[in-house]
Structure 1
Amino acid sequence: MARKKITVVGAGNVGATTAQRLAEKELGDVILMDIVQDMPQGKALDILESAPIYGYDSMVSGTNGYEETRGSDIVVITSGVARKPGMSRDDLLKTNAGIVKGVVENVVKTSPDAILIVVSNPLDAMTYVAYKVSHFPKHRVIGMAGVLDAARFRAFLALELRVSVENIHAFVLGGHGDTMVPLTRYTTIAGVSVEELIPKGRLEAIVKRTRDGGAEIVNLLKTGSAFYAPSAAVAEMAESILKDKRKILPCAVLCEGEYSINGLFVGVPVKLGGKGIEQIFEVKLNGEEAAALKRSAEAVKTLCEQVDKLL
């Protein structure tokens, strides 16, 4: 049986670490693609040479063109410039919209049946770009944000309560960034609501740290942005698709009436399986939560309106 084929576009920190995680999980053969001459080939070879130690048989190769990526089952798009200290995700909009547009046009020609996982920032707007340019059905265009945001939330809650991260189920909605909506009411520790276990003020501080999670790392690194946790999030999504696991994961997807949002890519819980997005899960929100999600969607809408002018 032929192995699945996964292309990662962009061989920077996020892309290369994603390729490593995908290979280590043996999800398929991995092609690392970048326009920088020889760099993806070098990184791919390095990952391949660690296979005997880790015990995986996935092939990993690097390329500077799209021909080698032909027929990919999944294409992960990490291309674009990274955030620098003091820079918002939105500052990246114009530059990265052009980059993502070019990538998607090439992917459509070589892998017309692929599922796209978009990682480039500003995430929600770049997923919108990929959807508009590709003309793929909405179940095959997915933004990676909520899995990362939920992981950060879970990590901070585990630190606070000194419990295993495996006991924590976090619930995050909305755009990726400052307007994200972590839902504490639906976030549980071994089935018990986190609101019963952590005082309100302390919980609000953890929610704020989750919202600012990306910026916190950018400010500490000073020369780049997060890549270990984002790559882990992509790997979880790819695994759920390629193994048809149907995990319920928060992803940026096109809402058409769900949560009273229309025509925007916003983070919501979805069933992720072999076809991509198989179902959007709607949960009941109280007034405060619904208002926060509406604000988040409005922020995404503003970016998408700018994108429409650029495309």
Structure 2
Amino acid sequence: MVKAVVLGAAGGIGQPLALLLKANPLVTELGLYDIVNTPGVAADLSHIATPAKVEGYLPPDDGLKKVLTGADVVVIPAGVPRKPGMTRDDLFKINAGIVRDLATGIATAAPKAFVLVISNPVNSTVPIVAEVFKKHNVFDPKRLFGVTTLDVVRASTFVSEILNDLGLSKDIVVPVVGGHSGVTIVPLLSQSSHTLPSSLSTAQYDTLVNRIQFGGDEVVKAKDGAGSATLSMAYAGAEFAGKILRALKGEKGIIAPSYVSLLADTEGAAVLTKELGETVQFFSTPIELGTEGVVKINPLGKITEAEQTLIKAAIPELLKNIQTGVEFIAGAKTEEPRL
């Protein structure tokens, strides 16, 4: 029996994500939570002929505690989507409190669950969850993940476009490391499973890197004020959650990039830190998954000079983002969760 929970299940990411999890045969119970509309979303999904029993909860009557009780995997897409003109700092100010309150609920009702954070900005919200868990003495770095899968999905798609064959997109694997916003997103195109054309110019390479890093802006602009990447993020979130579920069931050798605490594997972290030339608390790199969560943090391996330059540009921004999350909890007053 596996219980998956979506916190923020009635939103633009939450609804399609819940649909994809309902369709996953490994899920036997699906708990949904949001501040509005969750019972209706649950009723709708419950008619789909798959094994998962679906229940939806709202804040009244300990809804958050009820939905989290018995949870094995908790996915957090809750929060406000980015809109045109909104900076990541603006987004943080809105979403930080939401993530803190949900993390408090998880710490008290489902401290052993695998927690998958989608709420942006991930570079800062994952440290928020970690700090909340530390305050409750339940922090297990092996069980906390920032979902960076959308960057990997975009890289695969954009490389297949350059190769003029979208049919390859499901087979193309490009490791994407660093963080999950702007310059902190570093695609290791030299390690792509499908080699880029030798005719690709430096300018074309730079354009491809920039598109992977700022693909979210492309969607925000195209939606013209109606939101950000929701459907592609739901797909990516379900893809990563699916890998977590398979690992939970005992499947071996599953590797996927994720933004994790380097405390999850101190041996692997030591190698990665040496490669980076600087100590960071959180970093996205290909990790091996197992029944306990993070089994191994893999090194970057051989990268090009251009990729080394990208990583050097990413680290200062990443350090700032992490500190923002840590300081938010350090300066927060103890209060009851709002959600």
State the TM-score, normalized to the length of structure 1. 0.90
Does residue 1:57 correspond to 2:51, yes or no? yes
The one-letter code matched in structure 2 to 1:159 is E
Partner of 1:204: 206
The one-letter code matched in structure 1 to 2:298 is F
CA offsets 1:76-121 (integer angstroms, 9 cap, x no match): 1111111111212232112211111110111111111101100011
Structure 1 or 2: larger strand share? 1
CA contact (8 A) 2:3 2:73 kept: yes
Does residue 1:289 correspond to 2:307, yes or no? yes
Pick from 252, 259, 274: which aligns with 1:252? Answer: 259
Partner of 1:103: 102
The one-letter code matched in structure 1 to 2:318 is V
Q: CA deviation at 1:128?
A: 0.9
Residue aligned with 1:272, SS: strand
Q: CA deviation at 1:154?
A: 1.0
Q: CA deviation at 1:4?
A: 0.2
Taking a change above 3 Å as real, the CA distance of residues 197 and 21 of structure 1, as seen in their structure-2 partners, is farther
CA contact (8 A) 1:240 1:274 kept: no
CA contact (8 A) 2:220 2:228 kept: yes
Pick from 167, 186, 205: which aligns with 1:181? Answer: 186
- Tell me, in whole angstroms, the C-alpha distance in 1 between the residues paired with 2:327 and 2:104: 18
CA offsets 1:2-61 (integer angstroms, 9 cap, x no match): x2001110020111111111111123121110122xx01111211222x13xxx121122
Does residue 1:273 correspond to 2:290, yes or no? yes
Q: CA deviation at 1:263?
A: 4.1
State the TM-score, normalized to the length of structure 2. 0.83
- Tell me, in whole angstroms, the C-alpha distance in 2 between the residues paired with 1:121 and 1:148: 12
Partner of 2:151: 149
- Tell me, in whole angstroms, the C-alpha distance in 2 between the residues paired with 1:62 and 1:225: 25
Taking a change above 3 Å as real, the CA distance of residues 109 and 178 of structure 1, as seen in their structure-2 partners, is same
Taking a change above 3 Å as real, the CA distance of residues 197 and 264 of structure 1, as seen in their structure-2 partners, is farther
Taking a change above 3 Å as real, the CA distance of residues 166 and 196 of structure 1, as seen in their structure-2 partners, is farther
CA contact (8 A) 2:127 2:326 kept: no
- Tell me, in whole angstroms, the C-alpha distance in 1 between the residues paired with 2:156 and 2:305: 24
Residue aligned with 2:155, SS: helix
Structure 2 runs not aligned, ≥5 long: 263-268, 330-339
Partner of 2:169: 165
CA contact (8 A) 2:123 2:181 kept: no
CA contact (8 A) 2:141 2:260 kept: yes
The one-letter code matched in structure 2 to 1:219 is K
CA offsets 1:162-215 (integer angstroms, 9 cap, x no match): 2221331112111212111111111131xxx22536444323222211111111
- Tell me, in whole angstroms, the C-alpha distance in 2 between the residues paired with 1:105 and 1:273: 25
Taking a change above 3 Å as real, the CA distance of residues 160 and 292 of structure 1, as seen in their structure-2 partners, is closer
CA contact (8 A) 1:142 1:253 kept: yes
CA offsets 1:249-295 (integer angstroms, 9 cap, x no match): 11101134424353422211111232221111101334442342232
Residue aligned with 2:13, SS: helix
Partner of 1:34: 34
Taking a change above 3 Å as real, the CA distance of residues 161 and 291 of structure 1, as seen in their structure-2 partners, is closer
Partner of 2:335: none
RMSD value, Cα: 1.8
Partner of 1:131: 130
Q: CA deviation at 1:304?
A: 2.3
- Tell me, in whole angstroms, the C-alpha distance in 1 between the residues paired with 2:236 and 2:290: 15
Q: CA deviation at 1:307?
A: 2.6
- Tell me, in whole angstroms, the C-alpha distance in 1 between the residues paired with 2:141 and 2:188: 25
Q: CA deviation at 1:139?
A: 0.8
Residue aligned with 1:168, SS: coil
CA contact (8 A) 2:124 2:324 kept: no
CA contact (8 A) 1:124 1:175 kept: yes
CA contact (8 A) 2:282 2:322 kept: no
Partner of 1:44: 42
Superposed, 1:236-247 pairs within 5 Å as: 236-244=239-247, 245=251, 246-247=253-254
Pick from 229, 232, 237: which aligns with 1:229? Answer: 232
